[in-house]
C-alpha cells in the first residue's frame, strides 16, 4: 500500500498500463516533455518515448479522431483533453464516430480507447477551465463514463478503462488532484467499471455522488452525524454509465430518502437520471421527495473567488439539503 493523491494514482495507472501492454499509448497537448499541464503524465515521455507519449498540436478533434483510428488499428490509446471545457471541437468525433462505430458496423469494429478529461471548478478556472460537462456524454449511447473520487478508484478505474473494449470518458475532478492522499493497493489494482461503492454506510438517508462530491458528501455526513444524529449513507457512483442501478435502489430501499449531488447544473443533468430511476423503480421505499443538489443555472463557474464560492457545491450546502430531506 502506498499513500498517493489522485494525480499520482492516475499517473501510476497509466505508467503500469504502458509498461504492461505495448499497444497502449498516450496522446494529447503537452503530455510529452512537460508531462501535462497538471503533471498527470510526468516522467512517462522519458520512460516510453515520443511514439507512446505523444504531444499533439492544439487540435482536440484530431486528438479524438486519430485516437479512434489508432484504436481501429488495434492500439489502446489514452487521449487527454487538456480541460473538459476544450472537448467541444472533438464532440463530432466522440458523438458521431467514437460512440457508435461498434453499433454502425454491426459489431465488426470496436474501439478500446480512453479519453481523459480534467473537469470541475473550485480551482479559479472560471467559465472555460471549470466545467462539469459529463451529461453530454452520459446521454450518448455507446460511451462509458467514469468519475473516480479516491486515489485507489482513480488508478483502478483507469486501468479498467484502458482494458475495456469500448470507449471510456474518464472524468478527473481537478480540485481532487492534490486534495488528499489515501491508500492505493499495490500491484495490478483494477476497479471494475459499472460498480458503485458505499463510501459510508448510513440508515437515515442516501447521498448519491461522484468525483469531488464524494469528498464533500463524506464531510457533510460527519457533520450530520455529529450535529443532528442523522446517519447519511454516501454512495459514490464511480461509474455514471453504465449506472449501477442495483446499488442505487438498494441504498434507497435501506434509507427511504435520496439526495443526488453534483456540481454540474441541475436541468437535464446526470442527477435527473438517478432521480428518475429512484422515482420509478424505488417508489415504494421512499419516505420523502427525491432531492437534487446541483450547480446553479448559469453557463459556468464565474471567476472572482466570491462568485466561485457562490457557485460551488460544498459540505455546508450538502448538510443544508440533507437536513431538509431528513425532516420528512
Partner 1 sequence: MATTERKPRHAELGLTHDDLLAMYRHMLLARGVDERMWLMQRAGKIAFIISGQGHEGAQVATTYPLRPGQDWLAPYYRSIAQTMTFGMTAEDIITAHLAKGDDVSSGGRQMPGHYGAARYNIVSLSSPVATQVLHAVGIAMGAWVKGDDLVALTSFGEGSANQGEVHEAMNFAGVHRLPVIFVCENNGYAISVPLEKQVAGKSVAARAAGYGFPGVTVDGGDVLACYAAAKDAHERARRGEGPTLIEARVVRMTSHSSDDDQRRYRDPAEVEALKEHDPIGIFAGQLREMGVLTDESEEQLRGEIKAEVNEASRRAEARPDPDPATAHLHVYAEEG
Cell of residue 128, nine digits: 472555460
**DSSP secondary structure letter of residue 142:** T
Given 3, 96, 268, 304, the residue binding partner 1 (CB under 8 A): 96
Closest approach of partner 1 to the CB of residue 242, in Å: 8
* Catalytic site includes residue 285: no
Residue 108 C-alpha cell reads as 465488426
Cβ distance 106 to 148 under 8 Å? no
Question: What dihedral angle (degrees, nearest 10) is formed by the CA atoms of 88, 90, 93, 94?
Answer: -70
Least distance from partner 1 to the Cβ atom of residue 132, Å: 24
Site for partner 1 in 130-169 (CB under 8 A): 141-142, 144, 165-166
Binding letters toward partner 1, positions 191-210, x by CB under 8 A: --------------------
- Among residues 6, 40, 44, 71, which is the contact residue for partner 1, using CB under 8 A? 71
**Which residue in the set 3, 109, 178, 307 belongs to the binding site for partner 1 (CB under 8 A)?**
109
For position 273 contacting partner 1 by CB under 8 A, the verdict is no
Stretch that binds partner 1, among 47-55, 126-134, 147-155, 271-279 (CB under 8 A): 47-55
Angle at 243 between CA 239 and CA 244, to 5 degrees: 95
Describe the strand order of the beta sheet including 232-236 as a list of residue ranges. Answer: 197-200, 232-236, 205-209, 258-265, 291-295
**DSSP state letters, 189-256:** ----TT--EEEE--SSEEEEE-THHHHHHHHHHHHHHHHH---EEEEE--EEETT-HHHHHHHHHHHS
Spatial contact of 85 and 130, defined as CB atoms under 8 Å apart: yes
C-alpha pair distances (Å), 295 with each of 117, 122, 185 = 19, 12, 33
Region near partner 1 per CB under 8 A, out of 31-39, 46-54, 202-210, 243-251: 46-54
Residue 72 touches partner 1, criterion: CB under 8 A? yes
Q: CB–CB of 229/269 below 8 Å?
A: no
Nearer to partner 1, 142 or 271 (CB): 142
Among 108, 226, 229, 305, interactor with partner 1 by CB under 8 A: 108
Among 51, 186, 297, 306, binds partner 1 (CB under 8 A): 51
Give the range of 3-11, 72-80, 258-266, 286-294 binding partner 1 by CB under 8 A.
72-80
Q: Does position 17 bind partner 1 by CB under 8 A?
A: no
Positions 74 through 93 that interact with partner 1 (CB under 8 A): 74-75, 89, 92-93
- Residue placing its CB nearer to partner 1 in the complex, 49 or 185: 49
CA distances from residue 36 to 43, 46, 83, 173, 276 in whole angstroms, order as listed:
10, 13, 11, 15, 38
| Window contacting partner 1 (CB under 8 A); options: 22-30, 36-44, 129-137, 207-215 | 22-30
Rounded-to-integer distance, Cα 242 and Cα 142, Å: 10
Q: Give the DSSP letter string of 252-284.
A: HHHHS-EEEEEEEESTT-HHHHHHHHHHHHSGG
Span interacting with partner 1, options 7-15, 56-64, 266-274, 292-300, rule CB under 8 A: 56-64
Please list the residues that pair with 232 across neighbouring strands.
Answer: 205
Q: Tell me how many residues contact partner 1 (CB under 8 A).
A: 44
Bridge partner list, 197 = 236
Cβ distance to partner 1 smaller for residue 108 or 280: 108
Which active-site residues does the annotation give? 129
Residues near partner 1 (CB under 8 A) are 22-23, 25, 51-52, 54, 56-57, 59, 61-62, 64-75, 89, 92-93, 96-97, 100-110, 141-142, 144, 165-166
Amino acid at each position: 500500500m502506498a499513500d498517493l493523491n489522485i494525480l499520482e494514482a492516475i499517473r501510476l495507472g497509466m505508467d503500469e498500463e504502458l509498461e504492461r501492454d505495448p499497444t497502449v499509448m498516450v496522446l494529447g497537448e503537452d503530455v510529452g516533455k512537460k508531462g501535462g499541464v497538471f503533471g498527470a503524465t510526468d516522467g512517462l515521455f522519458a520512460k516510453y518515448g515520443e511514439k507512446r507519449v505523444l504531444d499533439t498540436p492544439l487540435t482536440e478533434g484530431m486528438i479524438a479522431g486519430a485516437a479512434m483510428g489508432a484504436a481501429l488499428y488495434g492500439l489502446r490509446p489514452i487521449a487527454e483533453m487538456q480541460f473538459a471545457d476544450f472537448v467541444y471541437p472533438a464532440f463530432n468525433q466522440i458523438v458521431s464516430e467514437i460512440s457508435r462505430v461498434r453499433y454502425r458496423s454491426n459489431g465488426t469494429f470496436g474501439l478500446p480507447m480512453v479519453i481523459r478529461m480534467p473537469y470541475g471548478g473550485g480551482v479559479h478556472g472560471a467559465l472555460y477551465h471549470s466545467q462539469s460537462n459529463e451529461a453530454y456524454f452520459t446521454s450518448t449511447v455507446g460511451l462509458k463514463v467514469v468519475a473516480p473520487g479516491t486515489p485507489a478508484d482513480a488508478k483502478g478505474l483507469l486501468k479498467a478503462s484502458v482494458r475495456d473494449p469500448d470507449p471510456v470518458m474518464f472524468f478527473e475532478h481537478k480540485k481532487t488532484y492534490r486534495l488528499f492522499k489515501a491508500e492505493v493497493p499495490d500491484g495490478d489494482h483494477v476497479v471494475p467499471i459499472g460498480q458503485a461503492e458505499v463510501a459510508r454506510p448510513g440508515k437515515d438517508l442516501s447521498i448519491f455522488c461522484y468525483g469531488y462530491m464524494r469528498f464533500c458528501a463524506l464531510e457533510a455526513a460527519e457533520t450530520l452525524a455529529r450535529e443532528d444524529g442523522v446517519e447519511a449513507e454516501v454512495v459514490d457512483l464511480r461509474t455514471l454509465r453504465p449506472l449501477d442501478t442495483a446499488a442505487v435502489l438498494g441504498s434507497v430501499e435501506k434509507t427511504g430518502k435520496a439526495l443526488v449531488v453534483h456540481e454540474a447544473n441541475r436541468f437535464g443533468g446526470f442527477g435527473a437520471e438517478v432521480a428518475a430511476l429512484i422515482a420509478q423503480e424505488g417508489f415504494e421505499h421512499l419516505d420523502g421527495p427525491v432531492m437534487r443538489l446541483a450547480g446553479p443555472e448559469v453557463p459556468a463557474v464565474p471567476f472572482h473567488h466570491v462568485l466561485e464560492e457562490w457557485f460551488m457545491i460544498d459540505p455546508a450546502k450538502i448538510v443544508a439539503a440533507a437536513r431538509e430531506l431528513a425532516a420528512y
